[in-house]
């Protein structure tokens, strides 16, 4: 039987839940040994829980080096693969929600760059396949063509945890404001982008794009990178970053392995949206007419 005291406690807990939660953004060091990469992720999930995190987010391609020549070899099915099973177990044992960065996913004869999300009972909450593939050519700097081996996803993916709606994008997806806007329209208060920018685009665009998406959608943004390994074929920029709905950087790592653990205050989302009400001021009447008559 529940006492009045229990009821007061649960109302207080519910009110506290509505105010926000604690997130951990984990910048992992990733190497060629898949089992070691996954074990490191599991260990960081448990450490984040000890620091009070409710949601733990991992980087893009955290179980495999990032590169088209690795995806087939490291690919696993979701949710039956060893990495999925390890994340599910870690989420349940630690009692946290795990946003499992990305892994190369095998589905039939196709490969995807996929993020899985696990709730605190280990259940698969969401599965998102990178929608915009990273195909670029910057002469004498970097040429990359994910589409040589990966297929693109074609579903937007959001999930709810502790009464909060989150949206997921993967790395190059952050360059497409349309996707972020869709997820904001669907009620997201936070967007999480596992990503691995590089030494050319990282310093130019990583923080800029994160702040842009936070500012134009008026929500929290978390960017989660692998740590930099200068011996790797693809050298990641690192700089895992947390940005608030004002577009301000609330936490940022350098290139080394590390973790950001921060409180996410959901009141800030409402504060920015009510004080600068761009969401209800859009001139879709004009935009729609102009784009139809183009």
Task: Show which residues are catalytic.
Answer: 60, 130, 171
Minimum distance of ligand LQR7VSFR from residue 215's CB (angstroms): 18
Minimum distance of ligand LQR7VSFR from residue 208's CB (angstroms): 11
- By the 10 Å C-beta count (0-12 exposed, 13-18 middle, 19+ buried), 153 is classed as buried
Chain centroid to Cα 74, Å, comes to 20
Provide the binding-site residues for ligand LQR7VSFR, judged by CB under 6 A. Answer: 134, 171-172, 175, 196-198, 201, 205
Report the alpha-carbon distance of residue 221 to residue 191 in Å, rounded. 5
Question: CB-wise, 19 or 254, nearer to ligand LQR7VSFR?
Answer: 254
Q: What does DSSP assign to residue 236?
A: B
Note whether 88 and 124 are within 8 A (CB). yes
Question: CB-wise, 47 or 205, nearer to ligand LQR7VSFR?
Answer: 205
Minimum distance of ligand LQR7VSFR from residue 134's CB (angstroms): 3
Which residues are registered as beta bridge partners of 116?
127
Report the alpha-carbon distance of residue 89 to residue 99 in Å, rounded. 13
Minimum distance of ligand LQR7VSFR from residue 26's CB (angstroms): 18
What Rg, from alpha-carbon coordinates, does the chain have? Answer: 19
Question: CB-wise, 88 or 201, nearer to ligand LQR7VSFR?
Answer: 201
Residue with the closest Cβ to ligand LQR7VSFR? 201
Question: CB-wise, 118 or 134, nearer to ligand LQR7VSFR?
Answer: 134
Q: How far is CA 236 from CA 108, 254, 284, in A?
A: 29, 11, 38
Note whether 237 and 202 are within 8 A (CB). yes
């Amino acid at each position: 039987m529940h006492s009045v005291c229990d009821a007061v406690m649960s109302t207080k807990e519910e009110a506290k839940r509505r105010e926000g939660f604690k997130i951990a953004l984990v910048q992992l060091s990733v190497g060629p040994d898949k089992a070691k990469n996954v074990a490191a992720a599991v260990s960081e999930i448990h450490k984040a829980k000890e620091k009070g995190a409710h949601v733990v987010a991992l980087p893009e391609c955290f179980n495999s080096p990032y590169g088209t020549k690795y995806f087939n070899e490291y690919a696993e099915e979701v949710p039956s693969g060893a990495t999925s099973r390890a994340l599910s177990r870690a989420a349940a044992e630690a009692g946290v929600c795990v946003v499992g960065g990305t892994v190369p996913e095998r589905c039939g004869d196709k490969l995807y760059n996929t993020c899985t999300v696990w709730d605190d009972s280990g259940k698969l909450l969401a599965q998102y396949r990178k929608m915009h593939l990273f195909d670029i050519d910057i002469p004498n700097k970097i040429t990359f063509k994910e589409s040589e081996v990966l297929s693109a996803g074609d579903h937007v993916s959001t999930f709810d945890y502790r009464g909060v709606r989150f949206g997921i994008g993967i790395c190059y997806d952050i360059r497409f404001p349309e996707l972020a806007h869709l997820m904001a329209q669907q009620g997201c208060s936070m967007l999480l982008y596992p990503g691995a920018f590089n030494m050319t685009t990282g310093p130019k665009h990583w923080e800029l794009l994160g702040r842009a998406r936070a500012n134009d959608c008026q929500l929290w943004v978390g960017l989660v990178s692998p740590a930099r390994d200068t011996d790797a074929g693809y050298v990641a920029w690192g700089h895992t970053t947390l940005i608030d709905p004002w577009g301000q950087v609330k936490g940022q790592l350098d290139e080394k392995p590390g973790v950001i653990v921060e409180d996410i205050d959901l009141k800030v989302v409402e504060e920015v949206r009510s004080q600068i009400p761009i969401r209800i001021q859009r001139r879709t009447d004009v935009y729609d007419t102009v784009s139809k008559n183009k």
